[in-house]
């Protein structure tokens, strides 16, 4: 890994990409320090100490929500919009057809996702500010007839859109996935404080358990990210123009976890949304609504066993969902057929498609179980030992950080390999 980093810094084009990413992340952290006007800071700190659901959202915001900065919504509106668009792509025929139109279709779907991010940001800004107003965190009255309320909502919405743009700049001109990097930067900025809070009253047993869980989680995540099933591919001899190309043998690498860190991000976003609604309605004047909201908030508290079960199932489900979205056996089988490739013992066409589908389904099951187990292990540890309750959030952050680092290193290595091939061809 260190050798790859050194080689990356020696290559001017890759070095520029890395410094571009670092520059964007610095801008993001500067924005996260600019406070939203009209907020009572002491009441805000007390609110986040007593609300675990908003603590999960604050994890993605890199502390921007607990500090109520102008980018306090972080990437949550864009993530929710992406989930909705991917679900709609699977059920709306016109979007299904658009997704099959290559680069043009992807650009159009991305554009629709950006449009959907705006109303999602407005709704989330209104919900969060309403919950804070009910706790008297906001100075003055809050409502649609108040000019200050509109300033606060517009500021939070603009901050979310700005972060979306910065994330897309990282994806386009940097290295790695921009959304993951923004979340990664926020988690890393909170890591020292999270570790200190978790071990504020340490005992040798707690420290040992914390270290063991961290090491095991890192090892399992790396094992999943690096694990792959290699499908042998045979190419027959073929004639192109006046030249004959000899057939050869290669392999199709299928990663155990094709979805990467996205299932974790999606699962937490889905789990955080009911908590937001519960926090908003828990101060309703209608007693029935208030009781239901409080019950939902307690049921989905990040330190409960039912939260762990739902979290595990959501991670597994989104692993399958995103794998099906990113890897399409029919398209792969068609590409192999067009290029004269086939899997030994499997006929080209439909049999190849079915075979690839079965293989991907099996290895995705293993990847989903591993990923879900590592995701909920810190939460379960916090349930079994209240002294380690902070791991419920810290473990999730560790999952995202390690996955982003592993994926980024693989992309850097791919860039280095591509650069070497370009030099060879010249």
C-alpha torsion sign, points 84, 90, 93, 98: positive
- Enter the tokens of residue 51: 């609300």
Per-residue burial over 116-155, b if 16 or more Cβ lie within 10 Å, else e, is bbbebbbebbbbbbbbbbbbebbeeebeeeeeebeebbeb
Distance CA 176, CA 31 (A): 21
pLDDT of residue 426: 47
Residues of the chain with confidence (pLDDT) below 70: 1-4, 50-57, 59-60, 62, 191-204, 206-207, 209-210, 213, 237-247, 276, 279-280, 282-284, 302-303, 378-396, 419-426
Residue 57 and residue 180 in contact, taking contact as beta carbons nearer than 8 Å: no
State how far the alpha carbon of 371 is from the alpha carbons of 96, 272, 313, in Å. Answer: 28, 19, 11
253: left (phi over 0), alpha (psi -120 to 50) or beta: beta
pLDDT of residue 237: 63
pLDDT of residue 154: 92
pLDDT in tens, 137-174: 888 777 777 888 888 899 999 999 999 999 889 888 88
User: Which of the following CATH numbers is that of domain 2-425: 3.30.70.580, 1.20.950.20, 3.10.20.30, 1.10.3370.10?
Assistant: 1.10.3370.10
pLDDT of residue 278: 72
Burial zone of 351 (CB within 10 Å; 0-12 exposed, 13-18 middle, 19+ buried) = middle
Residue 64 and residue 153 in contact, taking contact as beta carbons nearer than 8 Å: no
pTM of the prediction?
0.74
Strands (E) in 289-400, as ranges, are: 341-342
Supply φ then ψ for residue 234, to 5 degrees: -115, 130
Residue 229 and residue 364 in contact, taking contact as beta carbons nearer than 8 Å: no
State the greatest distance between any 2 C-alpha atoms of the chain, in Å, as a whole number: 82
Residue ranges of domains in the chain: 2-425
């Amino acid at each position: 890994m260190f050798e790859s980093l050194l080689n990356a810094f020696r290559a001017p084009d890759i070095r520029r990409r890395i410094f571009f990413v670092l520059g964007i992340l610095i801008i993001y952290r500067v924005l996260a320090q600019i406070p939203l006007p009209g907020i009572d800071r002491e009441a805000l700190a007390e609110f986040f100490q007593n609300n675990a659901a908003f603590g999960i959202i604050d994890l993605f915001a890199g502390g921007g929500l607990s500090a109520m900065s102008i980018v306090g919504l972080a990437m949550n509106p864009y993530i929710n919009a992406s989930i909705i668009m991917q679900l709609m792509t699977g059920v709306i025929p016109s979007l299904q057809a658009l997704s099959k139109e290559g680069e043009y279709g992807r650009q159009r779907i991305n554009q629709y996702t950006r449009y959907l991010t705006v109303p999602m940001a407005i709704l989330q800004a209104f919900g969060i500010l309403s919950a804070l107003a009910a706790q008297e965190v906001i100075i003055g009255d809050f409502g649609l007839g108040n000019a200050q309320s509109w300033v606060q909502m517009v500021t939070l919405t603009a901050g979310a859109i700005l972060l979306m743009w910065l994330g897309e700049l990282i994806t386009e001109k940097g290295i790695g996935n921009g959304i993951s990097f923004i979340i990664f930067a926020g988690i890393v900025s909170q890591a020292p404080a999270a570790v200190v809070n978790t071990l504020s009253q340490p005992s040798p047993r707690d420290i040992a358990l914390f270290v063991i869980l961290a090491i095991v989680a890192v090892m399992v995540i790396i094992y999943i990210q690096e694990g792959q099933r290699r499908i042998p591919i045979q190419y027959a001899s073929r004639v192109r123009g006046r030249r004959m190309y000899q057939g050869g043998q290669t392999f199709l690498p299928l990663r155990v976890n094709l979805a990467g860190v996205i299932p974790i991000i999606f699962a937490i976003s889905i789990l955080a949304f009911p908590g937001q609604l519960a926090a908003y309605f828990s101060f309703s004047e209608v007693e029935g609504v208030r009781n239901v909201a409080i019950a939902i908030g307690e049921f989905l508290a990040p330190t409960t066993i039912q939260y762990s079960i739902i979290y595990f199932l959501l991670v597994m489900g989104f692993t399958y969902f995103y794998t099906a979205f990113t890897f399409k056996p029919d398209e792969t089988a068609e590409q192999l057929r067009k290029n004269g490739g086939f899997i030994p013992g499997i006929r080209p066409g439909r049999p190849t498609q079915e075979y690839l589908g079965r293989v991907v389904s099996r290895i995705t099951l293993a990847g989903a179980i591993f990923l879900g187990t590592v995701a909920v292990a810190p939460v379960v540890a916090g349930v079994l030992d209240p002294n380690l309750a902070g791991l419920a959030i810290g473990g999730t952050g560790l999952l995202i950080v390690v996955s982003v680092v592993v994926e980024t290193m693989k992309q850097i290595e791919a860039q280095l390999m591509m650069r070497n091939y370009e030099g060879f061809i010249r």
